[in-house]
């Protein structure tokens, strides 16, 4: 928040620059920033956290990418189990179940031996009554929205319709866990208590201001709005086919993670190879002050950092050697005389025009935390590989017929 909204949008646009969302980067960058800020929470130490998992990304075929939108609440890609149920429930009490709501059946391997045929109907009635009692426990606790990862049969649906409750079946377990977290509910594996009796306590219910169904394209969504324990949000992506939507989802998730890093650390650095070029010049100068073999190691490390700007230039079909030389000259001048070359402090590659420009002015920004970690992890990986003394390779056996 300290950096301002423009900096956050520029960070998200930098993340999207090489992805499918680059065409509508302004639109989707603003959406990513709004979605992450929507789920802002403060922990007991007073630190602000932005759980990206509290933002659910949904995909729907049809229309164009610019028809994508934010949804204020946690959206589920499922529908009511029966059309007789209400479409809106205010002051929702949500029961989260991980078991079947169907006619009770004995476990596998358990058999009921009937010696008196007149008792057969009473056994069937008892099977129905067991499930009826379970549903009654849930409804008596105050539940008016029921979500289950398993199925719901017609008999159980009748009881929910009579109670004016919304019931959804086949909800994904990941969605169930996230809803439990944002609503303050608890996922129930069974209704059995410590004493062996079945029951359902009201403290197990999640709470929300409103749960409603909304039609999007060919499908319906269930939206949980105004969650109690944690703020949540959803993004609905629209696109022509499944492959495009998958790529859009990956790009949006990356952008939200970048925005989260910036909001939590409040530090950014210029992109376009500026950091790597400046570090390379600094380490080269530092290596010259050493009179041991460490000088060669540091000089090689400085040379290796230039791989990033060179790769960026090659990927953009530009002259990598010339651009990298110009970039190094700018940063060498700034480090030698900061006053004279103050305009070169944030010089980076502009791969659209094939020139060197101020990355901060262009809005090419990256999280400082991600930059530090990437350099650190690359160094650790190189050290790990260098520690390998021998490599044993199994030779492929020759096929007597002439092949392998």
Please report, for residues 68, 207, 230, 235, 321, the alpha-carbon distance to residue 73 in angstroms, rounded to integers and kept in the order given. Answer: 15, 13, 11, 9, 50
89 and 222 Cβ atoms separated by less than 8 Å: no
The pLDDT of residue 185 is: 86
The pLDDT of residue 247 is: 92
The pLDDT of residue 230 is: 67
Q: Give the three-class secondary structure for 98.
A: coil
The pLDDT of residue 377 is: 94
The pLDDT of residue 38 is: 85
Residue corresponding to tokens 């925005």: 259
146 and 85 Cβ atoms separated by less than 8 Å: no
Please report, for residues 111, 188, 279, 345, the alpha-carbon distance to residue 302 in angstroms, rounded to integers and kept in the order given. Answer: 75, 56, 7, 18
Task: Give the residue from 9, 58, 331, 279 showing the smallest Cα distance to 174.
Answer: 58
The pLDDT of residue 46 is: 79
Query: b/e string for 285-303 if b means 16 or more Cβ within 10 A?
Result: eebeeeeeeeeeebbebbe
Cβ neighbours for 250, distance < 8 A, ≥ 6 positions apart:
19
The pLDDT of residue 404 is: 54
Task: Give the residue from 181, 204, 222, 186 showing the smallest Cα distance to 86.
Answer: 222
The pLDDT of residue 240 is: 86
**Degrees (nearest 5) of the Cα angle 262, 269, 303?**
130
**pTM value?**
0.76
Task: Give the residue from 264, 207, 262 showing the smallest Cα distance to 232.
Answer: 207
Q: Give the three-class secondary structure for 294.
A: helix
CA 171, CA 265: separation in Å to the nearest integer?
A: 35
Helices (H), 288-319: 294-305, 307-315
Query: b/e string for 19-47 if b means 16 or more Cβ within 10 A?
Result: bbbeebbeebbbbbbbbbbbbeeeeeeee
Could you say which residues of the chain have pLDDT below 70?
1, 104-109, 196, 229-230, 400, 402-404
Separate counts of helices (H) and strands (E) for the chain: 12, 16
CB neighbour class for 387 (10 Å; exposed up to 12, middle 13-18, buried from 19): exposed
Q: What is the pLDDT of residues 174-224, one digit of tens each?
A: 888 888 888 888 888 888 777 767 788 888 888 888 898 888 877 788 888
DSSP code for 334? H
55 and 32 Cβ atoms separated by less than 8 Å: no
């Amino acid at each position: 928040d300290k950096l301002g909204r423009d900096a956050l949008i520029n960070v998200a646009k930098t993340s999207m620059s090489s992805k499918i969302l680059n065409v509508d980067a302004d639109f989707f960058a603003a959406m990513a920033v709004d979605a992450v800020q929507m789920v802002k929470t403060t922990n007991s130490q007073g630190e602000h956290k932005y759980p990206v998992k509290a933002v659910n990304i949904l995909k729907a075929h049809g229309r164009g990418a610019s028809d994508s939108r934010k949804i204020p609440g946690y959206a589920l890609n499922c529908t009511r189990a029966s059309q007789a149920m209400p479409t809106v429930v205010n002051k929702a009490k949500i029961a989260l179940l991980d078991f079947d709501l169907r006619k009770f059946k004995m476990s596998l391997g358990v058999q009921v031996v009937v010696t008196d045929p007149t008792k057969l109907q009473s056994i069937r009635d008892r099977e129905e009554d067991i499930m009826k009692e379970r549903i009654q426990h849930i409804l008596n606790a105050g539940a008016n929205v029921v979500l289950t990862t398993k199925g719901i049969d017609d008999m159980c649906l009748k009881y929910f319709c009579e109670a004016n409750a919304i019931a959804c079946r086949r909800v994904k377990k990941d969605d169930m866990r996230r809803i439990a977290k944002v609503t303050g509910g608890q996922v129930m594996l069974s209704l059995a208590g410590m004493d062996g009796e079945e029951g359902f306590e009201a403290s197990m219910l999640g709470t929300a201001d409103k749960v409603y169904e909304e039609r999007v394209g060919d499908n319906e969504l269930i939206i949980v709005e105004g969650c109690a324990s944690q703020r949540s949000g959803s993004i609905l992506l629209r696109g022509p086919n499944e492959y495009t939507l998958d790529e859009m989802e990956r790009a949006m998730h990356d952008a939200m993670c970048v925005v989260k890093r910036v909001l939590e650390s409040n530090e950014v650095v210029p992109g376009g190879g500026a950091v790597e070029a400046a570090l390379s010049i600094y380490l080269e100068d530092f290596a010259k002050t050493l009179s041991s073999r460490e000088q060669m190691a540091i000089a090689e490390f400085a040379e290796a950092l230039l791989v990033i700007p060179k790769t960026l230039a090659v990927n953009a079909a530009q002259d990598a050697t010339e651009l990298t030389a110009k970039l190094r000259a700018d940063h060498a001048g700034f480090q030698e005389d900061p006053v004279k070359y103050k305009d070169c402090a944030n010089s980076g590659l502009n791969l659209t025009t094939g020139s060197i420009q101020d990355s901060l002015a262009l809005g090419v920004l990256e999280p400082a935390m991600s930059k530090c970690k990437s350099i650190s992890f690359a160094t650790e990986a190189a050290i790990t590989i260098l520690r390998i003394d021998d490599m044993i390779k199994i030779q492929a056996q020759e096929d007597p017929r002439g092949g392998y």
